[in-house]
Chains A and B, each alone.
Chain A
Amino acid sequence: MPEHEAGGTPTVEVRDFLRRRREQIAQRWADEPLFRTVFTVSRDEAVEAGKVVVDALAEVADAGRVEDPDAAGFSGLREQLSRMGAARSRAGLSTTQVSSELAALWPPVENLLVADMDEAPPERTRECASALGVLMGTLRLVAMQAALSEGQALIDRQRLQLLEVATPVIKLWDGIVAVPLIGTLDSARSQVVMETLLNAVVDQQARFAILDITGVPTVDSLVAQHLMKTVAAARLMGAECVVSGIRPAIAQTIVHLGLDLGTVKTRASLADALGHCLHELGTNIVNAAPDGAGRR
């Protein structure tokens, strides 16, 4: 890590160079594909964008962190770099090609630096060029990170959307909602299930929520904990959450593991849970018998 002393360490000199040559660097970059094709409104727009990048690089050099992609100076650039990367992707470029276009920003800057330092000792020039090269490399890393992050963010959003779609809420009756679960309950899914169920309770002002786990293959202590949290949260909101679909095998597992479901109300089937909730609501279901005298 370069140290800051009075006078020129390579990164300090790089910083000064960047500040001094801000306009020229931005002008040269404006003609590079990466800027030219993204900022199509006017060349001035591209130049301005280039200056923002140069300023950020100078800030990073000033902090002496040319090799650190998490340096504060880069944080303001991420959005812009994301957009540029996204624009090039939309134009049909692969990630490798975008990476090459980013790499192409280096030669113009290097040329300017070397020209500026023609009076300096060769060793010195090499040191500064090296520091600047590292900085440009880190910029490229930050840009690729931003692109990856964007991609990952898209995947996360889609995954979340999938989870939400896969967590349907069914209104069984006035004041009774049900969430039938199918598949394994991992941490992320449990969170979505809990939020979905509780939001449904509010939206429908449902006093009862049935969480049916018939389609959940295994229940371990983590799943049990999530179930208990959901029930506790529903209770705080003024609703009762019943867990149905406790198959004999699951009941055995729960007992064997010594899992304490506390005061969580459970039922073997969704139908039983519905019956319980209807009873609690004071609803009577009357069979219309053929002779008209039927009463349950």
Chain B
Amino acid sequence: MSEQSSRPVAGHVPVLRLGEVLLVTLQGDLYDTTAQQLQQDLSETIATSRVTGVVIDISGVEVVDSFLGRVLAEIAAQSELLAARTVLAGMRPAVAITLVELGLTLPGMRTALNTEAALELLTRPAVPSRSGGLRQESP
């Protein structure tokens, strides 16, 4: 059970570049403005450099409300327009349960269990965005 009383508050989100993939790690509690800044920064980076994939690791996030959910969905949509695929990785069970209860099922968002699985997903030949949808091609 979470008894952590002093969670880090993210004023700036680190973005790592792994080849053509951007790895974004969200940690702790985000200010609204931080999330919006991230959205902007990602858009610019994807537009101005060769980026084909974005992995957003939320394994360190305890709360995803409708605002953050919307930001994540918009990041995915914007990336798609700029020819990059986005994967949301490592969502915690409690967060998933809460989002479903909230009615935020993020349809069309690719998801993965962890960063490794997310990168694997991005390096496969292109599959439609609905995770768990069409079968992958057998190697």
* A residues in contact (CB < 8 Å) with B: 194-195, 198-199, 201-202, 205-207, 229, 232-240, 263, 265, 279-280, 282
Q: Which of B80-115 contact A (CB under 8 A)?
A: 88-93, 95-97, 99-101, 105-106, 109, 111-114
Name the B residues within 8 Å of A194 (CB-CB): 97
A222 to chain B, nearest CB (A): 15
Question: A238 near B91 (CB under 8 angstroms)?
Answer: yes
Question: B131 near A201 (CB under 8 angstroms)?
Answer: no
Closest to A199 in B: B93
Can you spell out 27 A-B residue pairs with CB atoms less than 8 angstroms apart? A195-B97, A198-B93, A199-B93, A205-B117, A229-B100, A229-B101, A233-B93, A233-B96, A233-B97, A234-B96, A235-B105, A235-B131, A236-B88, A236-B96, A237-B90, A237-B91, A237-B92, A237-B111, A238-B88, A238-B90, A238-B117, A238-B118, A263-B133, A279-B135, A282-B136, A282-B138, A282-B139
Name the B residues within 8 Å of A199 (CB-CB): 93
Is B19 part of the binding interface, using a Cβ–Cβ cutoff of 8 Å? Answer: no
- A201, A202, A234, A238: which contacts B89 (Cβ < 8 A)? A238
Query: What number of A-B contacts does a CB cutoff of 8 Å give?
Result: 73
Question: A201 near B113 (CB under 8 angstroms)?
Answer: yes
Instruction: Report how far A174 CA is from B106 CA in the complex, Å.
Output: 27
Question: B93 near A201 (CB under 8 angstroms)?
Answer: yes
Instruction: Report how far A265 CA is from B89 CA in the complex, Å.
Output: 22
Question: A205 near B96 (CB under 8 angstroms)?
Answer: no
Known A233-B96, A282-B139: A205·B114 in contact at CB below 8 Å: yes
Instruction: Report how far A264 CA is from B88 CA in the complex, Å.
Output: 20
Question: A238 near B93 (CB under 8 angstroms)?
Answer: no
Name the A residues within 8 Å of B106 (CB-CB): 236
Question: B135 near A280 (CB under 8 angstroms)?
Answer: yes
Q: Which of B41-85 contact A (CB under 8 A)?
A: none
A191 to chain B, nearest CB (A): 9
Name the B residues within 8 Å of A240 (CB-CB): 131-132
Instruction: Report how far A239 CA is from B101 CA in the complex, Å.
Output: 18
Q: A207-B117, A233-B100, A238-B88 are in contact. List 11 more A-B contacts (CB 8 A).
A: A194-B97, A202-B93, A205-B114, A232-B100, A236-B95, A236-B99, A237-B91, A237-B93, A238-B112, A238-B113, A238-B114
Name the A residues within 8 Å of B105 (CB-CB): 232, 235-236
Instruction: Report how far A232 CA is from B130 CA in the complex, Å.
Output: 12
Question: B100 near A236 (CB under 8 angstroms)?
Answer: yes
Chain B CB count within 10 A is highest, among A202, A229, A238, for A238
B43 to chain A, nearest CB (A): 24
Instruction: Report how far A245 CA is from B118 CA in the complex, Å.
Output: 31
Name the A residues within 8 Å of B109 (CB-CB): 236
A80 to chain B, nearest CB (A): 24
- B96, B135, B136, B139: which contacts A237 (Cβ < 8 A)? B96
List 6 A-B pairs, minimum CB-CB distance, nearest first.
A198-B93, A233-B96, A238-B112, A238-B113, A238-B111, A236-B96
Question: A195 near B93 (CB under 8 angstroms)?
Answer: yes
Closest to B116 in A: A205
Instruction: Report how far A207 CA is from B92 CA in the complex, Å.
Output: 14
Name the A residues within 8 Å of B97 (CB-CB): 194-195, 198, 229, 233
A119 to chain B, nearest CB (A): 55
Closest to A200 in B: B93
B121 to chain A, nearest CB (A): 9
Name the B residues within 8 Å of A282 (CB-CB): 136, 138-139
Name the B residues within 8 Å of A234 (CB-CB): 96
Name the A residues within 8 Å of B91 (CB-CB): 236-238
